[in-house]
Amino acid sequence: MVRWKHRIGPGKGRKDDKIRHAKAPSERFFNRELSQLAFNERVLALAERIDVPLAERLRFICIVSSNLDEFFEIRVSGLIDEMRDEAGTSSGWGPQATQWEHYLEISARAQRLVEKQYALFNHVLMPLLARRGIVVISHARRTPAQRAWVREYFEAEVRPLLAPIGLDPSHPFPQVMNKAMNFIVALEGKDAYGRVAATAILKVPRALPRVIALPPRLAPGQQAFVMLTSVIRAHLADVFPGRSVAGFSQFRVTRDSDLWVDEREVKNLRQAMRVELTQRHFGNPLRLEVLRTCPPQLELMLREQFQLPNEAVFRVEGPVNLVRMNQLVDQVSQPQLRWPTFVPAWPAKVTPSAGEADLFDAMRRGDILLHHPFESFEPVIEFLRQAALDPKVVAIRMTLYRTGTASVVVDLLVDAARRGKDVTVIVELKARFDEEANINLAERLEAVGAQVVYGVVGLKTHAKMLLVLRREEAPGKRGAPRSRLVHYAHVGTGNYHPTTSKLYTDFGMLTADAALCADIERVFTHLTSQNRLPKLVHLWVAPFTLHKRVLAAIAREASIARAGKPGRIVAKMNALIDEATVDALYAASRAGVKIDLIVRGACSLRPGVKGLSDNISVRSIVGRFLEHHRIYYFRNGGADDVYLSSADWMGRNLFRRIEIAWPVLNSKLKQRVIDEGLLPYLTDTTNAWTLGPDGEYRPPRPRKHGYSAQGALLQQLAAVT
């Protein structure tokens, strides 16, 4: 039995443990979009905290902007598609009853979030950075020497890339790409042909940095920067000689970026995805960002051009697109303004020197659990490297969802294929915003003879699996050696992405367990052949068994609690949305099961409602690292079942993706998962927000000596410098 140092007593049971389905859905479930915005409010709160290093506070401002971009591109676009479908038109929106009211609520909350974000940026963080000698200098505040340098930079680097477009019947409003920065300019005077061209559009070159460092000699004792948009704004008159600039504004349009390909109709998915990607930049407009000082007539022109309602316009005070301020954070030279650096640990069973570790031998001695980013992702890379180089390895199977554009993982797979090994890679071409990178890596793998498979029609392959088949000698019946294929595997809750493995919390496991490896091999065979998936010993696989097994495990805890014994569920994930799973948790709560949920992002479950969810608590951990583990714990009468998974409890994961959950079988590793992946987060008093039955998240109370799960794990597992 595992050890818990946290309350595990039974909950308050009820004789009638059936959910009253007469309750309206809004009473049983929180709205997903509003819950997602609430998560971004929690991220923004990190930018307010004085215990967070100053440069990192600015980075959280940037993260919120990036998250909001994706929120509109994907989540809001789906809602607007529903409204357009009901209106029977492909452009323009209209008030479509509930959807329109829902959109207004989302827009108002997003507007408040952005307003708070810019207030924090302008009035708190930038003044604090200035006190530390890190300044962004506007045109009005530049010295003559700085203005001279900016002019030289403009003439040499910027002007050659500018292509202003004066609007007239032969020059209609240009195509504006998704999230591209532009200027709209009101002009007075006549052009070279004696015509009045009142408006022009000027695209800001993407090839140039948005945050430009000034030479140190021009700002002694400071680290000074200028914004590219400020450089252009200061020289707008030079871009339109002979005319005067009567008004201007930066503007940026966010478009629908959700790709759609009918996989049942296309003959070549990769080719179809390439075609679809060319259209992504010009999807339906969803949001317009302009400067608060934008002249009303220019804003109206933009709204009419993009057919957007007033609620879709975000008027900001400061740089449009704060995501680009990441470039300033990356250039900050004062290390004390960043998080302390740390060196991820290697597991004790493996020598920390990559070239000395025989991972096959280590895995034969027992499973190896890796806890990222506190422990290094390098053992996974080393496992693949040794597999690529080892002449005894005959085959490698792997799933790739996100790897990055320059991936050592792909390099090693290419090397393995060149060495004559049988390499099969399941590449997910539909990994959102990584589609092009994955198409390129798929083509690279095919070029060296690797077998590339694009998964199952209609499903995304989100499971993280790596299987190695190695020919080894073993004693025969009469002692004579005989050859056999031995399986080794890695499974994980996160992607095969060395960069994000330093930023996301995830568990991975290296294993030579015969039954588990056999299950993994059967899943790979299913993905390549698309034959029926046979019965598995250990793995739960979506969309076939994972949802059923989760519901069954929850129901079992409810039955145990009804019998008067302790029922206990602890689960950690990114999002909890699936209604059937939420209803099952409600039923378990009413039966007396004690349930603790650690849900980083969107959560539709309403905790602490009398007669519905009395025994359920929900908390969200938002800190330095992005919480990404998926852990399911069921007490099961003292058996203490612990599963790690690639899947959140969402409809898309449970029904529209290939996902896996696997049991942690070794008792010591099971205890480690609880001690490192659950208990610290249940006792966190620094980064834990508590969800109330009203849908509001309560922030952690300020404490002189608070406990941070992430901080404790860094101290426990990594070397902090």
- C-alpha 656/C-alpha 442 separation (Å) is 22
- CA 352 to chain CA centroid, nearest Å: 30
The Cβ of residue 521 has, within 10 Å, a number of other Cβ atoms equal to 18
Q: Which two tokens stand for residue 571?
A: 């689960």
CA separation, residue 549 to residues 130, 215, 318, 554, 581 (Å) = 55, 61, 51, 9, 11
In terms of phi and psi (left: phi > 0; alpha: psi -120 to 50; beta: otherwise), the region of 674 is alpha
Would you give the DSSP letter of residue 420? T
Q: Are 453 and 423 in contact (CB under 8 A)?
A: no
What burial letters (b/e) apply to 709-721, b meaning 16+ CB within 10 Å? bbbbbbeebbeee
CA distance 387 to 395: 9
Task: Give me the active site residues, please.
Answer: 462
- CA dihedral 670→682→44→614, nearest 10 degrees, is 120
Q: 606 and 613 in contact (C-beta within 8 Å)? A: yes
Q: What angle do CA 704, 708, 711 make, to 5 degrees?
A: 115
Between CA 202 and CA 207 the distance in angstroms is 15
CB proximity list for 446: less than 8 A, separation 6 or greater: 452
Listed residue (436, 129, 166, 134) closest to 281, CA to CA: 436
Distance, CA of 185 to CA of 198 (rounded, Å): 8
Instruction: Record the tokens describing residue 59, joined without a space.
Output: 């980075």
Burial of 502 (0-12, 13-18, 19+ CB in 10 A): middle
Contacts of 460 by beta carbon, 8 Å cutoff, 6+ apart: 401, 428, 430, 431, 652, 656, 657, 658
From CA 129, how far away is CA 435, in angstroms rounded?
37
